[in-house]
A and B are shown apart, each in its own frame.
Chain A
């Protein structure tokens, strides 16, 4: 079946501009995660959705970053007033997680490479 998809695969923007990155999770997955992977680093957690609500946004670096998931499926990560330091690969993952402490495998998308000039 279809995996997690992300669009665009590459995005080049200028400093100060606004960008939106889209994630289509695996159908039926209730949990959705966003991560940021800078060059030479491992992915860093940004935000976790359970259904439509952001259950944990503790990883968002500042108030320029915002994410939504209005219908509990597709999610959009929004970055305002982009800075050169925002350049990274933004990864999305989804899982069957239903709550509690048991782990459900996260399936990752291919990522969106964001370059801020």
Chain B
């Protein structure tokens, strides 16, 4: 079946540091890939997505590139802010492979210190 593996947290960084959160996946079909974010006290929100190989998703200074050869979708940001503190989930949609729901990783708790 499909699966998503992302780096364990918590990840603690200082403000303005460079961020990478690793994500790799296995899928039956050709999935679309996503990063969702959950801010404290709020629901899951889509942060960015990529639907085919070599696509780069970007939003709010975050980027991730769909790498089919390494089955990866790592999340990066050049300079993090305290307001980026949240839980980040990597996810895939494999409707072509017969899966109707999203498959999520376990989440990475990001803590940004001033």
Contact = CB atoms under 8 A, between A and B. Distances in A.
A69 B111 CA distance: 39
Contacts of A33: 100-102
Given A101-B96, A110-B43, A40 B102 contact: no
B104 A44 contact: yes
A43 interface: yes
Given A40-B106, A42-B107, A59 B44 contact: no
A41 B109 CA distance: 11
Main secondary structure of the interface of A (DSSP, over half): loop
Contact size range, A: 20 to 34
B69 interface: no
Interface in A38-59: 40-46, 48, 55-56, 58-59
Contacts of B45: 108
Interface string A92-117: 01000000111101101111000000
B21 interface: no
Nearest to B105: A42
Interface in B60-75: none
B95 A43 contact: no
A108 B44 contact: yes
Contact of A42 (B32, B46, B95, B104): B104
Nearest to B96: A101
Contacts of A93: 44
B106 A41 contact: yes
Given A42-B4, A42-B91, A100-B95, 7 more contacts: A40-B107, A42-B104, A42-B107, A45-B101, A45-B103, A55-B100, A103-B49
